[in-house]
A and B are shown apart, each in its own frame.
Chain A
Amino acid sequence: MPQIKDHYLARAMKKILDPSRVIEDDLERTIYSCDSSFLSAQSRYLPDIVLLPRSTREVSEIMIFAFENSIPVTPRGAGSGETCGCVPAKGGIVMDLSTWNTVEEVDAQNMQAMVRPGVVHSRLNEHLGRFGLFFPPDPGSTRMCTIGGMVANNSSGMRAVKYGTTEQYILGLEVVLPSGEIIITGGKNCRSLKNVSGINLTKLFVGSEGTLGVITQIRLRVWPRPRARGIAMASFDKLEQAPVAVLDVYKAGILPSGIEILDQSAIRAINLYRPEINLPSCEAILLFEVDGNPASVHWEGEQIAEIMRKQPARVEWSTDPQRMAALWQGRSVVAAAAARLRPDGTRVFAGEDICIPLNKVAESLRIIKSLGEEYQIQVVAYGHIGDGNIHTALVINPDNPDEVDRLGKLVDKIHRLAIDLGGTTTGEHGVGMVRSAYSLLEHGNTLEQMRIVKTALDPKGIMNPGKIY
């Protein structure tokens, strides 16, 4: 798609950026052709050039040049996404923002922080911890994903049950538009926590997957760090008991900070990865995390334990920081650890992020299990059952074309099942390239309105083309 010669592009970019932050080398560019998605493992989407900007001015100058020359631009964080979202579908420029990782300001008095897009989620929370604060959304990829990527994909994770998704914590954004113009959403000098003045463009950019502009600074709402935490682990002999138990906890008036489910295979994968975690062998485990002040945590923990025992389920209640960290870490890495279940196979990220209405979760788990048997593909189910967001890890041998073919069919069935049950193909990972085929099915004629908005901001279609719409 670039209308200009590569060497001209490189020369122009080196006038904007220090040459050490301009990557032209063939192999290095090839390395930028992937994220975690299975699609990017199978196909190569090479950028023509990779740039590592570290200021808004640099990003703006790059965009002005790209706009004038109709060069596609794909922003990228840590590349931990699962949708080919940061992969340059049409070549052009990849803007690696992961090295632009400064926390510009923690405004503790106003409960907010200003950060650059490359800040890694767990490092942000380490930093905020010094102020007794935290940024609540808690993705499983906390140790690698960047805040910029979280905003672009409206990520959430394990504590969305109580704290919601990233969008609820974005007070404002600095965005470089495809034309190179710099805008600030949420009020240009605003430090208030609420603002209903004007159309909420912040929400427009959150979750837009880099298709509307480049996010260069984020004004985040931060919260006081809870004083206490506890985890109740309930193990069930029957998988179907688990979703019922979740609803019973809600009915009892308790809102845990996280409710996670692990099926039998996920339990086995975690035990293979970290044997010392020693999860009990059963059909399903629910992890309930409660946080708040010590008295409420203790009370809620007891209530949950009582509800679980009635199911019946075996319950382990822990407030020991080491045990809690081990359980939470086990859950957070199961995504990749699922590969341990099959010596000749790997876990692939495809069809992995459906979100189902709460009253249909049990049904969806049962159907997905039988679909796995029908297509002879191992399905590891885990995820944020508290908000119906089920991750299905599919374990295959990617060298076997027949398995890859069956995988494609199974993924399609899973996505369509989610829509049929009144859910969505993606609860928190995004659409990217891998789910864009379902956009019309999910949104109907609203998709056309999305395209109109996209065209208004990006008339030349240079921002992350080939995604979502």
Chain B
Amino acid sequence: MSLLEDNVMGEYLKKCVRCGQCRYVCPVLEVAGKESASPRGKVFLAGLLQRGEVKPGPQADRILSLCLTCGACAAECPSGLPVDTIIKSARNLSASVHPHSPHRIMQRSLFSKLRTLEKFPGFMPLLRYAMAREYGLKPGSPARSVLPVITSPKRRKPRIRVGYFLGCATNYILPGIARSVVGVLTHLGCEVVIPPTSHCCGIPLVTAGEAEAAARLLEINRRSFKSFKLDAVVTDCSSCSFHLTDVGLYSVNSQPVYEFSEFLVSALNPDKPHGPLSGAAVACHSPCHFRHGRKLSRQIRQIIDIIPGIKVVDIPGGNSCCGGGGTFSLTHRSLSDDILQRYTGRIKSAGIQKLVTVCPSCIMQISRGLRSQEIPVCHPAEMLHASYRLPG
């Protein structure tokens, strides 16, 4: 949901009965333990800000920042409140009063100007250094620099023309996912278009309450996709899919911006891959924006199920938030680590040998937690790519 206008937010806030049911599902509250970290506490604060009872400022920002915007609270709320959107809108309220604080300028600049920054000679080496240190990853060249704008199937006429929304994390940090997505989609008969001028989807900015900067990116992205005639738009990232579906990117017949596994299951009906992979015990992690945002559920599992030789196992206690939350893992490292460790503890206890998920941010975060156990975390496109025995 887009950020809320002041009067709309007021109507929603009125409906919160402070029952506390959101406390049950909030990953941040579970580790932080205090009421201000609960969704109810932040909605209460949003009400104080909205009515002018308290002034926006660093104190309010600090409390409002204690949210991963995972959306579990909104899915749980009996009053039907978009709790995560209320929190993001409250951040926007604060951002509009203090737009020039250093961290806001840095955040705006980073996500608004990524495409410019990538041309800066020191950008990729710096990114590689940071990623190697943080996640043990060594990103190669950005996916955009190695993938063509249009890739057509080799031996047959395309059955469908697909726009591929290439998100930032995939492009810069996990470019192998992008190669696999393009490889699998073309193998299944799609012509894949990566609009060269598309940008960050804007979700990091919306999450930070930077509504105006996010709106500018949306316009850029709309123009980028409108210049191609497309049957559908697909992305490998459930957060991009959630946000762009929510705000309405270029879409055909009100289709969503498909998440990769959703698109395969609903539109392509993929044939069974012939190459069996090793019989590892694989578990599927459903990211928060996949479950609560897009309200998808079994699509990842359905894709993995068709791969021969795989034994799919459940994560004990089910799926949880990994604690990544975009920049949350950087700004609240200790809380993020606590959430991550609780989750990876369950993954480790089940003898899981590989984890599959559809969010690059989750891949990075969970990889960090499972690095010492050498349990790899990958995207289903990569597994399909390997199973189809595709080149590259």
Contacts and interface: CB of A to CB of B under 8 A. Distances in A.
Interface in A29-57: 30-32, 34-36, 40-41, 50, 52
- Interface of chain B: mostly helix, strand, loop or mixed: helix
A346 B17 contact: yes
A246 B133 CA distance: 67
Interface string A1-37: 0000000000000000000000101111011101110
A58 to B, nearest CB: 14
A27 B57 CA distance: 11
B337 to A, nearest CB: 15
A339 interface: yes
Given A28-B63, A336-B78, A36 B20 contact: yes
A79 B54 contact: no
Contact of A78 (B17, B23, B44, B54): B23
A337 B24 contact: no
Nearest to B40: A79
B234 to A, nearest CB: 29
B11 A340 contact: no
A346 B15 contact: yes
B79 A144 contact: no
Given A27-B36, A32-B35, A337 B14 contact: no
Contact of B59 (A23, A26, A40, A348): A26
B34 A96 contact: yes
Interface in A53-99: 78-80, 96, 98-99
B19 A141 contact: yes
Contact of A30 (B11, B23, B24, B48): B48
Nearest to A332: B78
B114 interface: no
A120 B24 contact: yes
B45 to A, nearest CB: 6
Nearest to A40: B18
Contacts of B17: 36, 335-336, 339, 346-349
Interface in A85-133: 96, 98-99, 120, 122
Interface residues of A, number: 46
A143 B21 contact: yes
Contacts of B78: 273, 333-337
Interface in B77-99: 77-80
A399 interface: yes
Contacts of A466: none
A336 B21 contact: yes
- Interface of chain A: mostly helix, strand, loop or mixed: mixed
A144 B44 contact: no
B60 interface: yes
B41 interface: yes
Given A336-B78, A346-B17, A398-B14, A27 B34 contact: no
A27 B63 CA distance: 8
A373 interface: no
B351 interface: no
A41 B18 contact: yes
Nearest to B17: A336
Contacts of A34: 18, 44
A155 to B, nearest CB: 14
A21 to B, nearest CB: 8
A31 B44 contact: yes
Contact of A144 (B15, B16, B21): B21
A35 B20 CA distance: 9
B275 interface: no
Nearest to A41: B18
Nearest to A398: B14
A344 interface: yes
Nearest to A397: B14
Contacts of A79: 18, 20, 35, 40
B23 A144 contact: yes
Interface string B31-59: 00111100011001100100000100001
A80 B38 CA distance: 13
Contacts of A36: 17-20
A96 B15 CA distance: 25
A27 B54 contact: yes
Nearest to B77: A336
A52 B21 contact: no
Contacts of B14: 344-346, 397-399
A336 B79 contact: yes
A34 B41 CA distance: 9
Contacts of B24: 120, 122, 143-144
Given A28-B63, A50-B34, A52-B33, A273 B20 contact: no
Contacts of A25: 36, 59
Contacts of A333: 21, 78
B364 to A, nearest CB: 28
The 3 closest A-B pairs by CB, nearest first: A336-B78, A99-B33, A333-B78
28 contacts: A23-B36, A25-B59, A27-B36, A28-B35, A28-B36, A31-B44, A31-B45, A32-B35, A36-B18, A50-B34, A52-B33, A79-B18, A79-B35, A96-B33, A96-B35, A99-B33, A143-B24, A144-B24, A273-B80, A335-B19, A335-B78, A336-B17, A336-B19, A336-B78, A339-B15, A346-B14, A346-B15, A346-B79
Given A52-B34, A344-B14, 7 more contacts: A31-B44, A335-B19, A336-B17, A337-B79, A337-B80, A339-B79, A397-B14
